[in-house]
Chains A and B, each alone.
Chain A
Amino acid sequence: MGLLVGCLGALTGIGGGIILVPLLTLLWHVPLHAAMGVSLIAVVAQSTGAAATPGRDTLRNDRVAIFLETGAAVGAVIGAILTAHAPLPLLSILFGLLLLFASYSAFRKTGRPETDAATPDITNCDGWAGRLQLHGECLDRGERTRYRAQSVWSGWSTMTVAGFLSGLLGVGAGAVKVIAMDQIMKLPYKVSTATSNMIVGLTAAAGIGIYLKNGFINATLATPVVLGMVGGAMLGTRIITHAPVKPLRVLFNAVVLSFGLLMIARGVGL
């Protein structure tokens, strides 16, 4: 199952954790907290795996990552503390809503070009971006683009909410993090995704200690899932050029939507 989730995640761009938790709970009847604990480990493994691949994170902006992570990490710790006390049906409903949001977000992304439509306006920027040096240059397809962050504190607040969701529901919440950087801070899309990849790993690590303290991590459950996900991600990256990615994305999106509805139904006791 980890192999399948890792492979589909690499092919469709939807993070592994968000599909792993409903699969484990709905199909394999794993307790929700244990599934979320495994998912957080898988998020760290995927983030480290991507960082270990040469050339994958050259677009990353370290200052943006560190600045935003200060909010996300605090959010993750608060979320992880609350998850132990929150009623399971409520967590199930919240997870379902997150799945619906991820499906909507992925649906909007389908058909959108991978490169940015316009060069970000670097003259009209937030004063805080200058003070915090949240700017940079990225080389994309041979073209050098300069960029500078906007709406810095709105981006930081959204990232804190993303961190909270990560800690509360045991996911990477990459979709929300990319929105914070791409749509709110107006950073180039590829810089946002590369930076988000680092932030999801750091946020998961900040929240996972609380999961450990509460006994939500089980090695015999996590080991095969993590091995499968890393193997699946490698396989997905290799076959992405040959696989019918667009129909797969539509199909996977439909699965995410169905899981979202099922998690909500489970939460309300249907």
Chain B
Amino acid sequence: MSIQTDLATGSNRLLQWLLLVSLSMLVAGGILFLAHHGMTWPAPHAANHGDAALRSIPYALHPGSGRFWMELGLALLLWSPALRLCGLLWHFIRIGDWLYLSMTALLLALIVHSLLP
């Protein structure tokens, strides 16, 4: 198996798991939220200036709350492009392509900086 195919298969499998875990968290969070809020969901138009709590999961919310799991699921999903870049970074290291290694590292730094608090 070539390096490229090897990388693509490994990366696909990792992304499949990541997607499955994050979607499961969203479903679990949704169910917990409904259970704790008398089976009612906030109206969409009430989403004015939503919370930025995706950044403060470990500090602000209790793991037993539905919102905690929804926010964790969304955060995992948002980190998936960074994971794809890590895979490409590894690929460019293996083939010794320093130009694209530098560009990928730069992009990864930008995305990580954007997503970190």
Contact = CB atoms under 8 A, between A and B. Distances in A.
Contacts, number: 160
- Does more than half of chain B's interface fall in helix, strand or loop, or is it mixed? helix
A219 interface: yes
Interface residues of B, number: 54
A164 to B, nearest CB: 15
B52 A215 contact: yes
A217 B81 contact: no
Interface residues of A, number: 56
Contacts of A112: none
Interface string B72-107: 011001101110110010010000010110011011
A209 B52 CA distance: 10
B8 A66 contact: no
Interface string A25-45: 000111101100100010011
A6 interface: no
B80 A223 contact: no
Interface of B: 8-9, 11-12, 15-16, 18-19, 23, 26-27, 29-30, 33, 41-42, 44-45, 47-55, 67, 70-71, 73-74, 77-78, 80-82, 84-85, 88, 91, 97, 99-100, 103-104, 106-107, 110-111, 113-116
Interface of A: 24, 28-31, 33-34, 37, 41, 44-45, 47-49, 51-54, 57-58, 62-63, 66-67, 69-70, 73, 77, 132-133, 198, 201-202, 204-210, 212-224, 226-227, 230
11 contacts: A44-B80, A48-B84, A54-B12, A70-B106, A77-B114, A201-B81, A210-B114, A212-B54, A214-B52, A220-B47, A223-B29
3 closest cross-chain pairs (CB), A and B: A218-B50, A209-B114, A205-B81
